[in-house]
A = this chain, B = another copy of it.
Amino acid sequence: MNERSRYKTRQRETLLAYCRTVSGSHFTAGDVCAYFRSQGTAISQSTVYRQLESMVDEGIINKYIIDGNSPACFEYVGADAHEGEVCFHCKCEKCGKLIHLHCDELEEIQSHLLKEHQFKLDPLRTVFYGICDQCR
């Protein structure tokens, strides 16, 4: 979200390139480290974590926690993800599939939460976890 001024470092660019190559699927911090180690273009683990955190803040990637003891999953959504209409996400806990929904009924949740519970929902960060059609 915050278009904070950032330095354009080799590590950041390389990480962004990686994100784009796996666009559409998810990856963990460990995946990233392992990949770079195998490539020779090493990036330290701390930098990976710090850059991933920054990108989550910026809204370039999403962070999912499927299970408390497994590593967090990240997914590239791109820099232009925050334009246009509201979109809800469902994430399957089994196959990891991410489903995008445009649904009036779900949008009512927002006004309900706001009116009845004084809570302003952020659909960009909210993810519905569950089990998808095929996995049941």
Of B118, B120, B121, B130, the contact of A122 (CB 8 Å cutoff): B130
Query: Are B126 and A130 in contact, CB atoms less than 8 angstroms apart?
Result: yes
| Majority secondary structure of chain A interface residues (helix, strand, loop or mixed) | mixed
Output the least CB separation between A125 and chain B (Å). Answer: 4
Query: Are B128 and A126 in contact, CB atoms less than 8 angstroms apart?
Result: yes
Interface residues of A (CB under 8 A from B): 65-68, 72, 90, 92-93, 99, 101, 103, 105-106, 109, 112-113, 116-122, 125-133, 136
Supply 13 A–B pairs (Cβ within 8 Å), ascending by A.
A65-B65, A66-B125, A68-B68, A68-B72, A90-B117, A90-B119, A93-B125, A103-B117, A105-B116, A106-B109, A113-B128, A118-B133, A119-B131
